[in-house]
A and B are shown apart, each in its own frame.
Chain A
Amino acid sequence: MQAVNVRLIQVALLTVLLGGWQLGVTTGVIDRFFFPAPLDIVQQVITWVIDPGFYKHVGITLSETVLGYLIGTGLGVAAGVWLGLSPFTARILDPFIKAINAIPRVVLAPIFVLWLGLGLWSKVALAVTLVFFVTFFNAMQGVREVNPVVLSNTRILGARRSDLLRHVYFPAAASWILSSLRTSVGFAVVGAIIGEYLGASAGLGYLIARAEGNFDAVGVFAGIIILAVFVLIIDLLLDCRRKAPDHLAPQGRRRTPGLSGSTNVR
């Protein structure tokens, strides 16, 4: 009963908000140059969604996200496990890692465009720099928090170093990475879209940037809605995957890695 009520109030609120906005625009109270009519925005969204060419943009943003996530996670796991296993190297590299992580990623976008061109790979690179650190810190933490008794036991059972990596360290790191799946995929999306927004010839971020260039507020708002839906769909897909089996839950406490640099982007 209460749930139905909440839904009703939500729908009513939305109707009043959008209706008022639409009314304001048609009566001229609101300047349609800055705040285009909701109906125009919806029309623009529909025009895009029924245009097959639009899915090229979606596909490109999606590819950048997926590639950025996979490469970032791969590199993060490798580096995290490596540094987790060699505390000495980790101590030496610590200030460098902190410094690099402190760089706001937005400023890297032009550099990546310079190095990798306007195409897909400069966006992937930006996503990688964001995803890498989340995974890296989690993997390192996972390796460091492996229970020493479990480790001794496995060694006594005859595990060599490669066996330990495969059966102990990587699974330990994996459980932590799984726990940060949503964060890192979120970062991959942000990286891809910021990259497109700052310089690209295709993708959802590019659609917004192009509309902005033409002072096309309808396009900008429509782009924002599309983006929101895009992220929501990815979130929904993750929700199905997120219920990780209990045995893969991290052993130790959860620690949110310092992401001073990325907060600048989000």
Chain B
Amino acid sequence: MSIAAAKIEAVSQPGLPPMVTIDDVTMAFGSFVAVENVNLTVGNGEFLSIVGPTGCGKSTILNAIAGLLKPAKGEVSIDGAPVKSVQNNIGYLFQQDALLPWKTAFQNVELGLMFRGVPVEERRVKVMAWLEKVGLKGFEGRFPHQLSGGQRKRVQMAQALITEPKVILMDEPFSALDIHTRHLMQNELLRLWQEDRRAVVMITHDLEEAIALGDRVVVLAAGPRSRVIESFGVDLERPRNVSEIKLDPKFMTLYRDIWASLRGEVEKSYASR
């Protein structure tokens, strides 16, 4: 039964050259197989949302793309180059706080450029520009513990994007924020992404968020041995406004269809614990 389902090739939108290719990847922790035979392609400039029940292996897949975890089988490649070690040409927005607590907002955003040997003055100009872009002008001297959760997320966003990565990975980026801050940040993310469309892989357990932001929504099966079960194109016009788009009839139809697919998996994952 799973053989047929595993064959589903989640192909990117036509016309976009592939940026991330996940080719028949199996991820295991010891004898525990988290995800099995996953095939996914993310086009250049495509915004891909991945949804699936908790613990099905979403973060694991993202870590495989980032090179933080090695597949037990199969291969991941970014822009044609196989991923062998930790990737530096990606931006990773972690679910948890990932800022260095002993560095200010400025110093945190500066890190990527500093490691690349960008001269101090050029760095300063870019960091200030990015802090302004994410709405943190005047906060450059604050330490992470002096910022709110939303502000820390903004710093993380600037930190991940300032190096102009080829791919942006996001692991439930806004799940820890309250609903209003979340909508604000989602809109801001869309605005930033719209400027120079890069490939994005965003994980979320919030189906509304997945549809509202993504060009395509991929549903993962309940774990263990999770795999891609379905892929839905989202043909909603851009630029979008996250809170308004939810009232669009097309959005509601999509929501119903995807939920029909996701629901069974969520129930399975509840039943198994």
**How many of chain B's residues touch chain A, expressed as a range?**
20 to 34
Contact at A152–B145, with CB atoms within 8 Å?
A: no
Q: Interface 1/0s, chain A 147-163, versus B by CB < 8 A?
A: 10110111111111001
> Could you name 26 residue pairs across A and B whose Cβ atoms are closer than 8 Å?
A149-B94, A149-B97, A149-B98, A150-B98, A152-B66, A152-B92, A154-B100, A154-B111, A156-B66, A156-B86, A156-B87, A156-B90, A156-B91, A157-B111, A157-B159, A158-B111, A158-B115, A158-B116, A159-B115, A167-B103, A167-B111, A246-B143, A246-B145, A247-B101, A247-B143, A251-B101
Q: Which residues of A contact B97 (CB under 8 A)?
A: 149-150
Identify which of B66, B90, B111, B145 gathers the most chain A CB atoms within 10 Å of its CB: B111
Q: Is B112 an interface residue (CB 8 A)?
A: yes
Starting from the known contacts A152-B66, A152-B68, A156-B91, 19 additional A-B residue pairs (CB-CB under 8 Å) come to A147-B96, A149-B96, A152-B94, A153-B98, A153-B99, A154-B100, A156-B66, A156-B90, A157-B88, A157-B163, A158-B116, A159-B111, A167-B111, A168-B100, A171-B100, A171-B102, A245-B143, A246-B143, A247-B145
Q: How many residue pairs at the A-B interface have CB separations less than 8 Å?
A: 66
Q: Is B71 an interface residue (CB 8 A)?
A: no
- Give chain B's interface secondary structure class: loop
Q: Which residues of A contact B115 (CB under 8 A)?
A: 157-160, 163
A interface residues, tally (CB under 8 Å): 22
Q: State the CA gap A121–B57 with chains docked (Å).
A: 59
Identify which of A153, A155, A168, A247 gathers the most chain B CB atoms within 10 Å of its CB: A153
Q: Which residues of B contact A175 (CB under 8 A)?
A: 102
Q: Which residues of A contact B91 (CB under 8 A)?
A: 156
Identify which of B88, B99, B100 gathers the most chain A CB atoms within 10 Å of its CB: B100
CB distance from B143 to the nearest CB of A (A): 4
